[in-house]
Structure 1
Amino acid sequence: MNYKLSIILCAALLLGGCGTDASPKNVAVEDSVEGSVGDSVEEWKTLKTVSGREIIAELKQTAQETPKRDKSATIETPPEYEKPKKELVEDLAVKAIEAPAASQAVEEVYGEGGIRDVGVLFIELQTRGAEQSGVWIGLKEPDERVQQVLDLLQPKVDAGEILAEPIYFFRSPHTEKELYDLQDEVAEALKGMESEQGSYALYVNIITGEIEVSHDFLMPEQQEELRQQFADQTINFTQNGRMVAAPGESRLISPDQIYTNTPLMDGGFILSVSEGQFLVAGPDETAAFYKFPEADKLKVGLRVKVEASGRMMESYPSQGTAKFVEILPDYKPVNAKLSESQVVAKALEISGERLSNGYVVINEVIFDENEKKWIFELLPDDGEGTLEVADE
């Protein structure tokens, strides 16, 4: 396999994506000759429509053979591996070859980040649902700088370094700056609706111009209010998890049955409880402190599942707010005197005395019926990876 090439292509894919452009097969100027422009550009006419976008300029594919480009786009795989699909190969090639070339040309003409004030810049991939692999540059009010970008790219096409077809130059209904300004306006409107317990994520799709809002607190009437306030825009709402509890509604979910004789493997254990906060860690719960108004109803040792609200602070343990806490049934083997929660509380007392960090992550709990003892697999620890507690 050509490992060097694969690394280059994958790196280009990860480095991300904006690139863009198009150039002169038929730049829209009245009485202009195909592939050229006059002394001034008064109007950029629509040449055709691709993916619903008005193409205003094109590069001309002058080179019939493109050995330089073909060499860079070749992906060799060992016989034992399945050959990559055509769509993936085209995506990787466009992202690794046309995108950097177009991005460089645009930056040279418009300056670093300058395209944001006059248009948009993005790449679309077939493996992500696009009709074709392409680098797109959109201008809201195209001017003579379009031709400058075309003039930088066409020689690369002539030399067989890049292809003309994947680079599209189109008329954009918005600029990236306008979209970000709109995003700020929507964020400001959301502040007045924000729930103390709820959270939201917001972004404006640079390709479609639509507003995307994911949330866990907006009521239908609030969503309609936002739609009316931004009547000229399309707002898409997505509910993120369960809606926050209504005023007066408990955020604590109790189990259907208090005990179970079947061992549980999910959730995490309550390691400590204080006023308005608890610490949890375990098999499926990363160690985290959660703010929770009903923390006083929790007990150390309980196995729970936590649904967080909003972002978590990156620390260890991490910190956040619990939207809901679901208490799982307490595991109590048929021939055991104690339940899992009772033994976990004992184990935490023992381990807390020998651990420098004051808490421990319980990875697994096993009841040894013959020895009448509980065995804990611990992470992290100060030496011993297990802890045993008698069932008494």
Structure 2
Amino acid sequence: MKKRMGFALIASVSILFAACGATENDEEQLPLQSNTKFGSDREIIAELEQTVTETPIRDAEAKKQIESDDFKNGFYGEPSAELEEDMAVQTIEALAASDAIETVYGSHGAFRKEGVLFLENQTEGAKQSGVWIGIKEPDDRLDELLKVLQPKVDAGEILAKPIYFYRSDYAEMDLELLQEEVLNALKPMQSGRGSFGISTDTKTGNIEITHDFLKEEQQAELRKQFADYTIHFEQQGRLVAEPGEPTTTYPDLPFTETPSKEGTYVMQVDGEKMLVVDTIPTDPSSTGGQEDFYGAVFFTYPNAVEELKIGQRVKVENSGMILTSYPGQGSAKYVEVLPEYKPKNAKLSESEVIEKAIEITKKKSDGRMIIRSIAFDEEKAVWKVEIKQDGQDDEIEIKDE
């Protein structure tokens, strides 16, 4: 078994594995997050020397950060002295360190086999904003890094203190191999439903597993198999149902005389798949300002056609991630059917009205229909359904018969 790892990754790989069998890697980026405090048990193996007291070039670059609209408007967090220094180190020392690594090692891909690079931030609990360069087996290239960076310190372009060189027990590639080992151990435990995600906290050496299917005995088995590491399990919602256990719940009273916008509408059911569409528009601030946008998701759901029907309002608990296509795509593990709207003197219920509306609109267009509102005119015994289809608003009248 490998030695215990600390954290480190400019490009930490997270593995997500859903019931549909999809895997996805996070995009590479310099992380803002950190759980490790400054001054840990890392063995410092080299230091830059702060040879100048005046750093006008660095000061000017740092000033640009705090004068930007994004900083002032809180895009990076609540403006503070700590955030100012975090931002300066990220955009100045971290960039210089990254460039130096690429110069000395030829590429970041080559360095990932030799060591790690990460940030620590005061806004995340560190005592000092810092750029940490961990090298598994230090050699002459460490001296080359110092020779590239020290002149930048001498010229007042960067500060020496935020950049630290330490001996690492691992390289970034080691972390990827560890995650693959955990992935291979987890896959056989997944029985067709449920999802999980794996990431490695490269500062603490912890394996982070999110899931919605692992039982206590399976978690114990993983801890035994990876005994040299600490594993943190985080359960996402309820555990998936065991074979034979119900996953769909129905209301005690199937109907209500009070109209409701709760839940989402089931607009299509086919075998083990269903399409649900929001009953109210999504907040424009979360859709880039797009007005009148209704969320929609295709869910895989066992026995959907036997347990659900078009027009029902439901609450869906998904398993794992939802792909951000439109409609989205995901896997449902539980569905709660909500009471249908049915006025006292009406013959039809909400779901029956929606089903009729869908049949009418199919004759006009193949475009997906969105329900904007449903109202019952008791005097005329007519349902009025406001819809949106092909980007156009329309109203359908359906006789209550």
Shorter-normalised TM range: 0.7 to 0.9
**Residue 76 of structure 1 pairs with residue 70 of structure 2:** no
8 Å contact kept, 1:347–1:387: yes
Counting only pairs closer than 5 Å after superposition, residues 284-363 of structure 1 correspond to structure 2 as: 286-295=295-304, 296-313=306-323, 315-357=325-367, 359-363=368-372
Q: CA deviation at 1:315?
A: 4.4
2:29 aligned partner: 16
2:388 aligned partner: 379
Counting only pairs closer than 5 Å after superposition, residues 40-119 of structure 1 correspond to structure 2 as: 50-74=39-63, 75-76=66-67, 84-112=79-107, 113-119=109-115
* CA–CA distance in structure 2, aligned partners of residues 147 and 57 of structure 1: 9
Match of 1:245 among 233, 241, 247: 241
1:255 aligned partner: 251
Match of 2:181 among 163, 175, 185: 185
* CA–CA distance in structure 2, aligned partners of residues 369 and 114 of structure 1: 74
Distance 1:77 1:269, change over 3 A: closer
> Is 238-247 or 126-135 further displaced after alignment?
126-135
Distance 1:18 1:77, change over 3 A: closer
Distance 1:291 1:15, change over 3 A: closer
Distance 1:267 1:18, change over 3 A: closer
Matched AA of 1:331: Y
| Higher-Rg member (1/2) | 1
Match of 1:168 among 161, 164, 167: 164
Q: CA deviation at 1:196?
A: 0.8
Q: CA deviation at 1:361?
A: 2.0
Matched AA of 2:327: P
Q: CA deviation at 1:334?
A: 4.1
Runs of 5+ in structure 1 lacking a partner?
A: 1-13, 20-48
> Is 319-328 or 280-289 further displaced after alignment?
280-289
Q: CA deviation at 1:312?
A: 4.0
* CA–CA distance in structure 1, aligned partners of residues 129 and 269 of structure 2: 54
2:202 aligned partner: 206
Q: CA deviation at 1:345?
A: 1.5
> Is 88-97 or 308-317 further displaced after alignment?
308-317
Distance 1:77 1:137, change over 3 A: closer
* CA–CA distance in structure 2, aligned partners of residues 127 and 388 of structure 1: 58
| Partner-residue secondary structure (3-state), 2:157 | coil
Distance 1:87 1:373, change over 3 A: farther
**TM-score w.r.t. length of structure 1:** 0.81
| Partner-residue secondary structure (3-state), 1:278 | strand
Matched AA of 1:364: S
Post-superposition Cα deviations, 1:164-198, rounded to whole Å, max 9, x if no partner, equal: 11111122222111111010011001111112111
2:4 aligned partner: none
1:36 aligned partner: none
- Aligned pair count reads 348
Q: CA deviation at 1:370?
A: 6.1
Q: CA deviation at 1:273?
A: 2.0
| Partner-residue secondary structure (3-state), 2:67 | coil
Q: Percent identity?
A: 51
Runs of 5+ in structure 2 lacking a partner?
A: 1-26, 33-37, 281-293
